[in-house]
Amino acid sequence: MKEKKRLVIIGKLSFVEDMDVFLSQEDFIIEKADTKEVITKSIQRADMDIIVFDDDSYRLVDDAFHQEVIRLMRASGKNFIVVSSRSIPSAVMEANEWGAADFIVKPYNCREFIARINALVEKKVRVTCVGGGTGLFSLLLGFKNLSDIHLTSIVSMSDDGGSSGKLRSSFGILPPGDIRRSLVALSSAPILMNDVMQYRFQRGNELTGHSFGNLFLTALAEIKGSMAEAVRSLGDILNIQGIVLPITNTQTTLCAEFEDGTIIKGESKIDRAEERAAHLNIARVWHEPETNLGIEAYSAIINADLIIMGPGDLFTSVITNLIVNGFCEAVSNSLARKLYICNLMTKEGETSGFDVRRHVQEMIKYLGEDILDCVLISNTRLSEKAISDYARKNQEPVKLGPWEELHQLTKAKMIVADVGHETQLVRHDSVKLKNEILKIIQNHMRVHPPTPDTTTTHA
């Protein structure tokens, strides 16, 4: 029988009782500490496993005792989580400097809270994935059933095309498409429910082209008051294995300037190479208006063990996240390992002629420093038919390029592996990708993840 873990909840009576309501249903022995004497005694218990500390209970009421609790928690050598209503990056960093293992912002979601406690109690590797589109979907699909991994998906919010674009324009909400994909990728719901979420209407006038999941998220956003709360609610409904977060909570438009000075605004127009010469590559990208990293996403990056960027279209799925205000600061401040997964194919009008070195160069440019620890590069042998089909769209496999130039550019370790699959539609293979990343975790992070499997899953 699994041994129950002892959890100490520290704070004013109202906070302690609220915590007890939902945590008592979990596999914990809960000790409630709402007086100075009990708090001091509880923190010093040798058999205590984890502490949940309400920063709001004492910060403004009794600063001296607030500081004493922090000192005792640090001295205990146990993991502690700070819960706070201060939704600013400096609060996350302050807790991090105290030695906190996590920072949770109020109001919190019960399922997510429990997942984050379990991640620490069970010593899971906390993996934060950043991206959008099918690349992020494939990555999450491979990882969701691993019991030793705690996943957080931070999703791009710059999509303005198709169903997402129409709903964004009509309802003034954040685009739901990429969020929906992440939720379905991590879903534990029956297959039929996932199929319903992905279902796209083929007829019905106004419904044509819309995904049911996008409409459902829109309805939830209207009911709950924000897309962030809609995502949490749908995560509860689908019982997702992990946490999904929009990278920002405000609308923005991705803009790009091309090599000839042409400026295009809107991810969908950039992506489809509209209103410009298709052979020209992107010179720079930015957001209008500027947008800030959500506080939950900031905390997920700071407290991660591994941050994965990519795979996905370099500018419209990956770098669009790097230019969100606060993102690069969070990545730089995080002690996590940083992994970039390079694309399999170039993309006309975005990365034509780009080799691995040029992809990495752009990543470093927008990150603001050479901060990557590893770059994962595919050496999957593609079929002649696949190469021929993509050549007709002016796309080609991303070449490794001069090895010496790559090593002069970055200190990151280059890992070349078979992580694609050889079908006509070239994409990363979920299981191959998972297995290679598990090797990276094993070899570079001093932790012991599950043994890689040999089953192949096509996302």
Q: Quick one: residue 312, left, alpha or beta (phi over 0 = left, psi -120 to 50 = alpha)?
A: left
- Cα-flanking dihedrals φ and ψ of residue 357, to 5°? -55, -45
For the chain, what percentages of helix, strand and coil (3-state, to nearest 5) are there? 40, 20, 40
Residue 253's pLDDT band, with cuts at 50, 70 and 90, is very high
Would you tell me how many other CB atoms lie within 10 Å of the CB of residue 32? 18
The DSSP secondary-structure symbol of 422 reads -
Helix, strand or coil, per DSSP, at residue 144: coil
Amino acid present at 415: I
Q: Chain centroid to CA 149: how far?
A: 13
* Span 222-237, pLDDT tens digits: 999 999 999 999 999 9
Instruction: Give the residue ranges of DSSP H helices in 350-398.
Output: 356-367, 384-391
Helix, strand or coil, per DSSP, at residue 230: helix
Q: Quick one: residue 326, left, alpha or beta (phi over 0 = left, psi -120 to 50 = alpha)?
A: left
What are the CA-CA distances from residue 292 to residues 30, 246, 252, 313, 413 (Å)?
A: 37, 11, 10, 21, 30
Looking at every residue in the chain, the average pLDDT score rounds to: 92
Decide if 5-121 and 125-157+247-444 have a common fold.
Answer: yes
The CATH architecture of the domain made up of 5-121 is 3-Layer(aba) Sandwich (3.40)
Residue 201's pLDDT band, with cuts at 50, 70 and 90, is very high
* Span 267-319, pLDDT tens digits: 999 987 767 777 788 999 999 999 999 999 999 999 999 999 999 999 999 99
Nearest to 360 by CA among 397, 332, 326, 400: 400
Give the HSE-up count for residue 389: Cα atoms under 13 Å, Cβ half-sphere.
10
Yes or no: say if 417 and 434 are a contact pair by the CB < 8 Å rule: no
* Span 98-137, pLDDT tens digits: 999 999 999 999 999 999 999 999 999 999 999 998 899 9
Residues in Cβ contact with 305 at an 8 Å cutoff, skipping those fewer than 6 apart:
125, 126, 127, 336, 337, 441, 445, 447
Does residue 459 have a pLDDT over 70?
no
Per the DSSP assignment, residues forming a β-bridge with 265 are 255
What are the sequence ranges of the domains in the chain? Answer: 5-121, 125-157+247-444
Would you tell me how many other CB atoms lie within 10 Å of the CB of residue 202? 8
* Span 362-393, pLDDT tens digits: 999 999 999 999 999 999 998 889 999 999 98
Residues in Cβ contact with 339 at an 8 Å cutoff, skipping those fewer than 6 apart:
306, 307, 308, 309, 372, 373, 374, 375, 376, 437, 440
> Burial level of 253, CB count in 10 A (0-12/13-18/19+)?
middle
Amino acid present at 60: L
Does residue 265 have a pLDDT over 60?
yes
Question: Under CATH, what is the fold of the domain 125-157+247-444?
Answer: Rossmann fold (3.40.50)
